[in-house]
Amino acid sequence: MSDTRGAKDPHPTLRDVAREAKVSAMTVSRVLRDDPKVAPDTAARVRAVADELGYRRNEMARSLRLGGGTGLVGLVVTNLANPFYSRLALGVDAVVSGHGLKTVIGNTGHDLASERSLVEGLVARRVDGIIVVPAGDDQRHLAAAAAGGVPIVVASRPPRGFSADCVLVDDHGGACAATRSLLAAGHRRIGFVGPAPSVYTGAERLRGYTDALADAGITRDETHLRLGPQDTDEAARATAELLALPDPPTALFCSNNRNTIGAFRAIRAAGTDIALAGFDDFELADVLGLPLVIAAYDSDELGRQAGRLLVRRLGEDIAGRGPAPIHRAVIPTSLVRYGLP
């Protein structure tokens, strides 16, 4: 009555509701928690007032008091614009939201410093756990967070310098299979275009390619390797170089979809005829008008598995014995064949 200034009250508190309903804050708290030990009519009155005031209890204060975590999980990826990672995010969110958790997403843009600060920010906000696709091999900040007791799940690459649950793609197997399909088609001079082996995924796929060749009794020809392209333009240039070689490869394996698309463009531009295999499926792969074999996998599932591992880890703090053994999941790949139109 005395002080009803027009200024809109941002977020009424338990006490505001209590005062208005002529009860103690405790009673309001109980009503909101559906505590049965409260008179039905009081409860009704409290609810009415809470509704009228637009009261929403402060989950942050609540979790502070309860001490049981904030209900937030952090997800740190390198590039959300890449459908691969947005699908992964979706998979994570689908799983964790089913457990009442919300996902806080951070994008690093492959930058280590921003990854570090993102992780620190998440820890400072007391997320219950973190799922991360590390930008590089330097994972000391992750190790530190893990040592600090924050459950961490590493996705797409293995943890380095510490141990944690992780979920990987069968990079080696997929690259092997794709390369073998080219060998089976009779190709012997098979080039490689893809990111440098400095990133785990790149290294594994290169190894898969190399091993498949070795199995066929072929030593890989270093002049047919183009290591480094990150985007379609770079990949197209690299491919053009290969095609311009005096003794060019008759087939190409590209270790991710950026490179596959870039290679396709270069092949098209050169008007050459050359077989193509790649890693990572992509939309419209079937209309390129080129025989194409792709090692595909389900990135949603990658996210879901990561989410499940994290949830499992979170659950153990409550229920189980000491820390469960580290789990490492591997997402399989499957070969998809696209033909001529």
19 sits near DNA (criterion: CB under 7 A) = no
Q: Is 276 left (phi over 0), alpha (psi -120 to 50) or beta?
A: beta
Q: How far is the CB of 6 from DNA (least distance, A)?
A: 19
Locate all alpha helices (DSSP H) within 231-298, ordered by sequence: 232-243, 257-270
Return the number of the residue (79 or 250) whose C-beta is nearest a copy of itself: 79
125 sits near DNA (criterion: CB under 7 A) = no
Dihedral pair phi/psi, residue 166, rounded to 5°: -150, 160
Distance CA 280, CA 260 (A): 9
> What CA–CA distances, in Å, run from 65 to 19, 62, 69, 252, 318?
22, 5, 10, 59, 17
Q: How far is the CB of 8 from a copy of itself (least distance, A)?
A: 5
Contact of 316 with 264, CB cutoff 8 Å: no
193 sits near DNA (criterion: CB under 7 A) = no
> Which of 64, 81, 147, 184 is the binder for DNA (CB under 7 A)?
64
Return the number of the residue (55 or 209) whose C-beta is nearest a copy of itself: 55
Q: Pairing mode, if any, of strands 292-296 and 334-338?
A: antiparallel
Contact of 100 with 123, CB cutoff 8 Å: no
> Which of 19, 47, 57, 160 is the binder for DNA (CB under 7 A)?
57
214 sits near a copy of itself (criterion: CB under 8 A) = no
Give the footprint of a copy of itself on residues 265-324 (CB under 8 A). 265, 268, 282-284, 287-289
Contact of 179 with 213, CB cutoff 8 Å: yes
Return the number of the residue (141 or 220) whose C-beta is nearest a copy of itself: 141
Binding-site size for a copy of itself (CB under 8 A) equals: 55
Q: Which stretch binds DNA (CB under 7 A): 53-61, 195-203, 209-217, 262-270?
A: 53-61
Q: Which amino acid is at 97?
A: S
Structure tokens at 189: 């001079």
Binding-site size for DNA (CB under 7 A) equals: 27
Give the footprint of a copy of itself on residues 41-70 (CB under 8 A). 54, 56-61, 63-64, 70
Per-residue DSSP letter, 284 = T
Give the one entry of DNA, a copy of itself, none that residue 42 binds, where binding means its C-beta sits below a cut-off of 5 to 8 angstroms depending on kind.
Answer: DNA
What count of other Cβ atoms lies within 10 Å of the Cβ of residue 312? Answer: 15
Question: Which residues of this chain interact with a copy of itself, rule CB under 8 A?
Answer: 8-11, 54, 56-61, 63-64, 70-72, 80-81, 83, 85-87, 89-90, 93-94, 97, 102-107, 120-126, 144, 147-149, 261, 264-265, 268, 282-284, 287-289, 341
